[in-house]
A and B are shown apart, each in its own frame.
Chain A
């Protein structure tokens, strides 16, 4: 048990705070602990891209999620550098870069993963051999 929790229980025992107040404080401490675990897990998570094609080609790319979050913010700012004329021209072709919500994209990556796998493709070509593409969060 943490020192903070012992201190709260002592305060309840001494009558400094009521049992209800003590319970609320204990819940607050638990909430803080769980938030800390989530953020530390986040910093250590990677998006891993694995491609193996035949016996000769192997691609192994690891992108940290924390870095990806900052990069998406940077991309958000970078989009504002696109000249208005070019943006209009792209919009005419049905491409609206301003509509891309990078934050939502990151949230989807965070939430939408049940077993951590985003892409899992396995093909067997008689010429190229077996090609396997995996993108997952670990």
Chain B
């Protein structure tokens, strides 16, 4: 999973007073996990129709991830309040 040459991250930057925290969240890991869950749900759907809605929701989440990846590098939010700052960006 980690060895794949993919890079799709959410970068959360928190700036509070004097300290600064930058936290990259690897979205491609979640992407792979969700794909695996989707495979399981599709398999489970052979036995019960109750998994139809979860399968649809998971597929939508995957589509959301794919849309985000296609957008490339962009900033979702940048909030500044006095000396504190939170910024969320995708790359």
B-contacting residues of A (Cβ < 8 Å)? 43, 46, 56-64, 66-67, 70-71, 73-74, 77-78, 80-81
Contacts and interface: CB of A to CB of B under 8 A. Distances in A.
Contacts of B57: 74, 77-78, 81
B3 interface: no
Interface of B: 53, 56-57, 60-61, 63-64, 67-68, 70-71, 74-82
| A-side interface mostly | mixed
A66 B65 CA distance: 12
Contacts of A73: 60, 63
B82 A59 contact: no
Contacts of A63: 76
20 contacts: A43-B71, A56-B82, A58-B79, A59-B79, A59-B80, A60-B75, A62-B74, A62-B77, A66-B71, A67-B67, A67-B71, A70-B60, A71-B64, A73-B63, A74-B61, A74-B64, A77-B56, A77-B60, A81-B53, A81-B57
